[in-house]
Homo-oligomer: A and B are copies of this chain.
Amino acid sequence: MHILVGTQLFRGLDSPQLIEVAAEAKRVTKEPEQYFFRQGDQARRLFVALKGRVKVVQITPQGHQIVMRYVGAGEMFGSVPLYAGREYLSAGQAVTSAEALSWSGAAMDRLMSRWPVIARNAVELLAEELLDIRTRYQELATERVERRVARALSRLVRQAGRKVEGGVLIDFPVSRQDLGEITGTTLHTVSRILSSWEQRGIVSSGRRRILIRRPHELISIAEDLYHKGS
């Protein structure tokens, strides 16, 4: 089974084609905290994650950091500014030890004109990403922090939840600070919220480690089933 099987960007290609595609790629491995690309770099390459977790973060001139998304195996990242012909406005940083393949813009052009399905896939992936961020934009604009944190956690469970006894564990390190940067709040507020959930038995969290004990209760906070406040 070829390493590119199961990647979103190359879905629809057969094995010989995947081999040709992979031949053009460069393989990169990064340890936690290291960068695949940095904010401000001229965008030259597009990445597809093979292993591990990568977070895409943006830093404001004032130094605030925002986590845009987490990328897992099979997903594409670093692509946006490449297509738009710009510099990276965000950085791609390994969260766990991670591995990815990367292609240059020119290589992607060749591949896409040879197999148009790749272009089709790219359009679809970007569209999905747009839908996702619009939803989060709307949440940020209209919902309070607790709900946003609940939503963010639910999303993490979906993307990276591993069932263990006692609940579902987010299977890579996530700090309070990270959750704050995902939801647009401070680590302090996140900490308070998690503490209150801990007391209610909904989660059980430690140092950069979050275990969700009652996923459906989390969802009911995220979606506000029955009641309004508290």
Q: Are A80 and B119 in contact (CB under 8 A)?
A: no
For residue A68, which residues in chain B have a CB less than 8 angstroms away from its CB? Answer: 134, 137
For residue A83, which residues in chain B have a CB less than 8 angstroms away from its CB? Answer: 123-124, 126-127
Q: Is A130 an interface residue (CB 8 A)?
A: yes
Q: Determine how close the nearest CB of chain B comes to the CB of A12; give it in whole angstroms.
A: 13
Query: Quick one: given A140-B184, A184-B140, are A134 and B131 in contact (CB under 8 Å)?
Result: no
Contacting B at CB under 8 A, from A76-98, are 79-86, 89-90
Interface string of A202-223 (1 = CB under 8 A from B): 0000000000000000000000
For residue A60, which residues in chain B have a CB less than 8 angstroms away from its CB? Answer: 138, 142
Q: Is A133 an interface residue (CB 8 A)?
A: yes
CA distance A62 to B79 in the complex (A): 34
Q: Is A169 an interface residue (CB 8 A)?
A: no
Name A120's contact: one of B80, B82, B119 (CB within 8 Å). Answer: B119
When C-beta atoms are compared, the residue in chain B nearest to A117 turns out to be B113
Q: Are B86 and A131 in contact (CB under 8 A)?
A: yes
Interface string of A137-162 (1 = CB under 8 A from B): 11011100000000000000000000
Q: Are A84 and B127 in contact (CB under 8 A)?
A: yes
Copies, count = 2
Q: Are A64 and B140 in contact (CB under 8 A)?
A: no
When C-beta atoms are compared, the residue in chain B nearest to A66 turns out to be B138
For residue A122, which residues in chain B have a CB less than 8 angstroms away from its CB? Answer: 123
When C-beta atoms are compared, the residue in chain B nearest to A108 turns out to be B123
Q: Determine how close the nearest CB of chain B comes to the CB of A146; give it in whole angstroms.
A: 15
Q: List 6 A-B contacts (CB under 8 A).
A: A64-B142, A80-B130, A89-B135, A119-B119, A130-B130, A133-B134
Interface residues, chain A, CB within 8 Å of chain B?
58, 60, 62, 64, 66, 68, 79-86, 89-90, 112-113, 116, 119-120, 122-124, 126-131, 133-138, 140-142, 184
